[in-house]
Structure formats: C-alpha cells, structure tokens
Chains A and B, each alone.
Chain A
Amino acid sequence: MNDFDYVRPASISDAIAAATEPGAAYLAAGTNLLDLMKGGVTRPRRLVDVTRLPGLDRIERLPDGALRIGALVRNADLAHDAEFARAYPAVAEALLSGASAQLRNAATAAGNLLQRTRCSYFYDAASACNKRQPGSGCDAREGENRLHAILGWSESCIATHPSDFCVPLLALDAVVEIEGRGGRREIALENLHRLPGDAPDRETDLAPGDLIVALRLPADARNFSAHARYLKLRERTSYAFAVVSAAAALRIEGGVIRDARLALGGVAAKPWRARASEQILAGGKPDAGLFRRAAEAAVTDAKPSGDNAFKIELARRILVRALTLAAAGTPARMPALPASPFSSVSGALHVA
C-alpha cells in the first residue's frame, strides 16, 4: 500500500475542500478502498475520512413520503431496519445477498454505490486495463471474460458494476444527493454511473471533491412493497458477486399489473434499467407469457463481450423468475438465503 496523508475533517465543507486536491479520495468504511490499495490498484495520496461527519448516518422519512438514507448508514443497519425492509423489501433482500455479515456491518450506503468493478484484470496491476491506466488496453477482451458485460460495453472496457444494492434502488427511481464545491445538487441514480465508451476511467458523474451525502427513494417507491423481489445467481450460494441479478417490483390491482419496475445487475458497467420491459408489463395480466416477452425486451440489445453469451439467456431466465416470484408476493419473512434461486423453505437443507 502506498503512503498517504490522513485527514479527518469535522464538517462537510472542510471535507470537500480537502478532497478536491488531486490524488485525494474519501474514506468511509474502506472495505473496497483498502483492498484496492493493498493491491496497488489505486494509490491515493490523501485519504479524507468522512466517518465522523455529522448527520450522515440517519434513515429519515420525509414529509412528502420519500425516504432519505444517509450516506454513512451501514448496509446491515439499513437491511435490518424493520420499517425499511417492510416498505422496500427488494432493497433489503439485495443488501443481504451482498458480501458477508462482517462486510455489511462496516460498508456504507454511499460506499456501496461507489465500489469498483471486480474485473480481475482491473485488480491485477500487471494486466492492461483502460479503467486503471487509460490507454493501456483491455486484457479482459481476450482473457477470462465469461462474467463480463453483455450490455453497454465498449472495445475499451467490458467490466461490470458489482453492486446488488444499486439494482432495486435504480428500479425504484432512487436519487443521489451530492455536496460539492458548487453547493448541493441531486441526480438520478440512473445518471450516476457512466458507460465506458472510450473513457472507462471516468466511472461516475462526480467531480473532484463531490461527496454523496444521501440517497432518496421517492414516495411512490413504497407502492411496490407487496410484490418485490431481488434474485441473484452466483457461482456459490453465499458471499459471491452476481453472475446476473434482477430486481422486480410490481403494483398489482385486481389481477392486473398497474405499474412495473425492472432492473438487471452484473450485466453492464452500471445497474441496468429495463424500461421497455416495464412498458410491456404495465396493464398486463401477470403470467408466464407476459414475463417472457418482458424479459426478451430487456436483452434485445445484449451482445456477448467474450465467452459470456450464456449470460444473455441467463438474464432472460432470471428476469422471468424474478417477475414470477414478485407476482407471487413478497415473503412474510426474509428468505434464509436472500435472493438465492436455491432458497429453501425455512429449516430445510439446501444441500442434502
């Protein structure tokens, strides 16, 4: 790990001033950042510790019915907040399907949004990676790439965004509140992450010094609480990143889907909203044929970036399964294996 200056500002404005310097990075829990620094993948010259900034660790219901999640709320605290889990069950399920209990106890809400790709060529300082070192090339293109992107990728970069949390947040129209040198602004989560194009090193819309202070779920995000699921296929049952995941949220009245939200994870450099599928679902009867048509529409533009054509079919199937589970209703209790397609009835063994 490279040496760095450590500063712990007492106010948001001091933090922004300290982090605007070239080479500075914000430190919250550090569960991703320290790992990257240990591997020499990132080498910040200054760490600006935001963990003591006041007022960023609260979950608040706003007067207009929206929910505001402070940037420093820990993943585990958010997922286990009973009112939060009741109102936004797919978000809670996504959080609990990610990482391990230890990491969820430390990792923060804003940090989850800003975690870096898990592409092994990005992680390996000896490999060519346009994201890590612009212009150096992309060893993933001809390498081990069965888990890489099928949507929105470019010749420069085929990495995926690893977050589970972001997938249902995106489906529910989450908004990101940012403080920066120019004051406070907010952007839709959909516009936070960028597709790689020819500049995969520019991963987000954040400028130097910009600090995410909160996430907001709009009032109508709680309308889906009765029919919302997150489903995530992994290469092992727990403690693994998604091969493909999906968040499905439906508002069903009188046997008809009035409103549908759908997003994919593990398929692109950003969480992927399936708006065309949502339009197909709206007004329809929740059945297998409709779900298959919606799933097909989500992957119309998908193409393999390597040995990963299977992920397109997998995405279709995960979408159909997530929609089927959402239509069946949000379970009364969080499944024993959150988001797992192998989830069993409580108390039963998933392995004999």
Chain B
Amino acid sequence: MKSYTFNHNPLLSERLPPWRARFVVGVLLIGLVSLVGRAVYLQGVNRDFLQAKGESRYARTLTLTATRGRVLDRHGEPLAMSTPVKSVTAIPDLANLNAGQVAQLAKVLGMPLEDINRKLASGKDFVYLKREVPPDVAAQVAALKLEGIHSEDTYRRYYPVGEVASHMVGFTNIDDRGQEGVELALEQRLAGKNGSRRVIKDLYGSVVEDVESIRRPRNGEDINLSIDAKVQYLAYSALKQAVQVNKAKAGAVVVLDVRTGEVLALVNNPTYNPNNRGKLSGEQLRNRVLTDTYEPGSTMKPFIAAMALESNKFKPGSLIDTQGGRMTLDGATINDSHAHGALTVAEVIEKSSNVGAAKMALTFPPEHMWKLFDNLGFGRPLQIGFPGEAGGRLRAWKTWRPIEQATMSYGHGISVTLMQMAQAYMVLARQGEMVPLSLTRVDAAPMHGQQIFSPEVTQQVRSMLELVVSDGGTAPQARIPGYRVAGKTGTAHKLEGGRYVNKYVSSFIGFAPASDPRLVVAVMIDEASGGQYYGGTVAAPVFAQIMSGSLRALGVRPDAPLVPTQIARQTAVPVKEDM
C-alpha cells in the first residue's frame, strides 16, 4: 500500500464546495451555544429551586417539641404538668383504607367507625383522627402500618390536685395555650419554644446526618406559685363543707402570708375539675376572689375606726350615741341588728353598730374618706397579674350624698373584691403598712410599702378586732385554741336590680396570732340559706377551721395559753441536734 504524508494526501487537492465546511461549523456552534445556555439556566437562573427540590428527596426538617413549664406550689408539689402523648393524624389523600383496615383502626382508637370515615372523607389535606392518645395506643396504631396514618408528639396537661386549686392554676386548651388563671397569666414564661433540626434520612427513614446546626427547643419555665398545697387543701375542704351545710350558692376563701404578701390559698366553690372539663358552667368558672366584686358590709368598719383614731378626733374610749340603733338621714333609715345606747369606738366594732360607724364617718369630709378607700386599694384592680381582675366600684367623692357616705362606712354602696379586702386587712396586721400581693413565691426579702395608719392606731384597732371574737362580740365562733384571733364579721344585704333584698353575703376576715400576725384569712359565703346567715355563724367557723389548721401546718407558735391547752416547759434534757 502506498503511503503519503498528510500534506501530500490526494484528498486535500480535491476541491469541496465551501458551504459544506461552513455547515459543519454552524451545526457545531449551535450545539455549543445550546449546551452553554442550558448550563447557565440550570446552574445560574434555576439553581435554588433545583437544589431545594433535590434536597427534599433526602433532607427533612424535624420539629423538636418543647415542653410547657410546670406549675408548682411553693414547696415544689406539682399543680400542673405536661406529659407526652401522641396525636393520631391522617392525610386523607394518601389514606386509601379498605373497610377492614378502618374497622381495625376504629377498634384500636376506641372511636366510632363513622367518625373515622367522616374525617377521612372531609377533603382536607390533614386531619386529626384523635388527639391526646396514650403512647401505647399510638404504638398499636403504628403497628397496623396503614398508609397515610401517622402520629405526632404532643403534650397533655395534667392537674394532679384537680379541683382543689383550679381557680388559681386555671387550665390550657388543646393547643397547650393558657386559657384561665395562672396558666393564662404567666403564659409567656410557661410556654416553650419549639426547635428544629435539618437531617438527612436514609431510605429506611432513620436519621443519618445533621445538615445544619440544631435549633434547640426552649422548654417553658417551671413556676413556683405562692400557694401552699396543704393550706390550699385545708381551705378547699373547709369551704366545700361550709357551702354544703349552709346550702349557700357560692363561697370563696383567700389566705395571705402577712410577712411577704404571698397568697397561700385561693379557693372558690362551686369549682371544677381541670382534668375533665366536659361540661363547664360559667358559675363554676367564676372567680369570686379576684374577678367578682361584692359589697363588703361591716368588714369595712375597722378602717373607718382607724381613720377616726388617726385623726385624733376619737379615742378608743370615746362615746358615740347610737340612738337605740336607728338613725334617719336624707329620708332613709340606718338600722342596727341589736339596739344599743351610747357605745365606745371599741364597742362599735365589737357589736358591729352601723349607726356608730355612720356617725363616725360623717364627722369627716367625703374627700377624706375617699382618700382612705383609695389608699387601701379599693376601686382599682390590684394588678397582681391575674387575668380579668376586677377593681370594684368606688364613686368619685364629689358625687357622694351624706346618706351614701354613711352607708359606705359600713360597706354598702361600695364594691370590692375579696382579695382587696384581704389586702386591706393585711395593712392592719402589718402595723399600718400596705404591701403588694404576689401569686408567685417571693424569694427576695419582703418589700416595704406605703404607711397608711400609724403603728399605734393599728395596735388599737387590733385590740378592738380581738373583742369581736370575745363572748360579747359578733363572732365567738372564730376563736381557735392556742392563738389570739382578731377579725371582723360582715353580713351584707345583696343588691338585686337596684334594690337591697333579703339575701346575704356573710363574711369574716381576720388574722392570727394577734400578737404577731402571720396569716390573714378572708372567708365569703354567698347566699347562705340553711337558716343562718350572719357572718359570725356562717363564715366565722370556716375561718377558725382554716386558720387553726394553717397555723399548725406552718408551725406558728401559739401566743395564747388558753386554759385547756397545756404548756409543758421543756426540761433541760440534752437533745442531740446533730444526728
């Protein structure tokens, strides 16, 4: 075979038409341009979309559920806490179940067949088949391996003490948001914040790698309330019993720690079980301590006495003519339940004379009395941080007529909450100092507040309040063995449709031990209809029961060696303390 070098190849001397070369070059150019264009389109213009699509084949975002904080009492007993449960969900488009599978599912979940069918046929993208199912039931559902049926981690809120603390603690809804009480008030602190993590899953669905850094869930804070579970239970059971015995419509109790202003117990009756809120009525939900107001009646009198003593116009022994228990003013008559003649200021409190209180009050200008009420916090919400707090009704002093000023001196024509009254009594228990209340445990040193009465005056009023529980007073039943008690009864007519009717709010508010007060207990019984309705016979025994139990639970030293209580002097037996 003959060989040539390239340059001498005879084919080169062949003249081809020039368009053929140009055609080939053109085709190659077109191919190049379209490839470059496609590359630019994929890599530049559409890159984010394509990357996201690609990643979605293997990467998943998992939600890390945060737990809601616990609500604890002051010693750490749980009052509300969340436990993990599952919610069974379905994606109806994916769930093509046959009749047998639906029947299986219904049996495991314990719900009617038609409910499941209705939910699956609802045409939504996502439905909850059943929420808050126990983990073992959810495991059984998972074991059925049905397509389109999944389960989700959620939390259910439980309230171990149930109805005992329901008005204080409140409750959450199914989405774990606070609806009432502390659960609502402290929602910000209790609620957790869910975190998330991006992961790569293998074909079996297990996580093989974290893609991004994990956003950790922030769990809700645990909150220690000021409530003492023991005191709360004492108050709850005493009130429940009293409401039953007196056939009352309702009742409320609040217990305050005098030293710190903490609320140790807050109870209402009727109440409800926050774990089972199937049929809740508005009556059960009413919080008569903080969100409802009432006319306090005679429990207002000690403040009028304190105002009178503070002004130096009156001494504890000053005589006031109560005119046999009748006084006419502006065409209206003020009555006492028992007729008396001239009474000292101390006796006006001891016997609870309306005329006496009115006469004392009328020696002061309305503005002076309004200031007293305002200083004591009446007429405006306490701002204790509880949802729906009421402020009560205190009209501007310029509109007061003398008869109104007179009735206000014994607690009519002014409305307050039970918590406001308890706080005002704490002023008497604390040497005249007004301090803010707290629903959460106070760990800092107790604060000091505004001085409303001088210590001498509060001391005088306190001795008057001790007379109330003496044999000559209105509430001997409020006495407790071992402790000196000071307090005041209230029996107020109820206002219905603008008229006072023969229905009563019976109350007793007091503190003990009187020599160095530790607790304020306020009891209010609404419409007692068991034959008795005086504060001294209806509310005072409840007070005594709660006060004695609480003082014993807190280990407060008795200050009154009553005859039946024996006091044993500890003999010099050496006690080994360090065991």
**A and B found bound together:** no
List residues of B whose CB falls within 8 A of some A CB: none
List residues of A whose CB falls within 8 A of some B CB: none
